Amino acid sequence: MPTKAKWQAPRRAAHYAGARFGTPRAEQRDSRAIARLLRRHGEFPIKDLLDAPCGTGRLAPALSQAAKRYIGADISAAMLGEFRGPNGMRALRINGDATELPFQGGSFDVVVCCRLLHHLDPGAPLEAVARELVRVSRSLVLASFWDCACLPGLRRAWGWRRDTSGRRPLPRATIEEAFAGAGGRLLGYTTSCRFLSMQTFIAVGVD
Ligand SMILES: C[S@@+](CC[C@H](N)C(=O)[O-])C[C@H]1O[C@@H](n2cnc3c(N)ncnc32)[C@H](O)[C@@H]1O
């Protein structure tokens, strides 16, 4: 199924908003990684932050505390329908495609892209998203992906673990190339447990 169509079903969106992240610890893992990278690379105060894709707004409470203005964008009306942001009006969301974001260049201090890149084909689809994330940022992009250089990635590569969902672990070099091609510069990485967690965040600087 094409990535853009994957989350359009209301049942899938309801699952994502509810049972998808079983424990508070799992639920908070991504926002902790983002907070770590913001402490290392962020220029404070952060005025405008884009969360793309925002999904059901899972990261909105943490991200809207880190920045003065939070905006979420997602291509799925079903996911946006489940969106629960903190403090009503402060948390805005719009329907938007990460390959063609409806914002002018340099609109945001920080752009966060969590749990999308490992659903994309390496090559043109990945490069299109990297280009848009960098284009709309004026300082920093934080994006997660599945790093293939870890135990769960190797289990997949060796065929010990099958994943029929179409998600793919990628080498860091592929992600770095996509962002470098978009004009970004590598600042660093973080992961909750190196070599054990696949989910990894890259920090990309934008000049
Ligand atoms: C795994 S969810 C992650 C949502 C959120 N970032 C999080 O971490 O909870 C992936 C999201 O990507 C969205 N998506 C997929 N392709 C997209 C695209 N081209 N533009 C914008 N959103 C997209 C889906 O609708 C879905 O909400």
CA distance 198 to 54: 20
Structure tokens at 112: 């966060």
Concatenate the DSSP letters of all residues of 106-162 into one string. T-EEEEEE-S-GGGSPTTHHHHHHHHHHHHHEEEEEEEEEEBSSSHHHHHHHTTSS-
Q: Which residue has the higher pLDDT, 1 or 5?
A: 5
CA distance 196 to 134: 29
Quick one: which atom of ligand 1 is closest to the CA of 55? 27
Quick: pLDDT tens for 110-125. Answer: 999 999 999 999 999 9
For residues 67-89, give the mean pLDDT: 88
Quick one: which atom of ligand 1 is closest to the CA of 96? 21
Sole residue written with tokens 């289990």: 155
CATH number at residue 45: 3.40.50.150
Quick one: which atom of ligand 1 is closest to the CA of 97? 20
CA distance 192 to 173: 20
What do you get for the CA distance between the two ends of the chain, in Å?
36
pLDDT at 89 over 80: no
Q: Which residue has the higher pLDDT, 59 or 86?
A: 59
Structure tokens at 62: 């943490």
- The parent domain of residue 173 ranges over 3-205
For residues 83-103, give the mean pLDDT: 84
Query: Which residue's CA is the nearest one to ligand 1's atom 23?
Result: 75
Beta strand extents in the chain (DSSP E only): 46-51, 67-74, 91-95, 108-113, 137-146, 185-191, 199-205
pLDDT at position 196 is 82
Quick: pLDDT tens for 153-189. Answer: 788 777 777 776 778 899 999 999 999 999 999 999 9
pLDDT at position 88 is 56
Least confident segment among 3-7, 14-18, 70-74, 104-108: 3-7
pLDDT at position 16 is 85
Helix axes 124-136, 172-181, angle to 10 degrees: 50
Number of domains in the chain: 1
**Residue among 103, 116, 168 to mutate when testing ligand 1 (max atoms within 8 A of CB):** 116
Q: How far, in Å, are 119, 125, 159 from residue 164 at the CA level?
A: 12, 19, 12
- The model scores a pTM over 0.85: yes
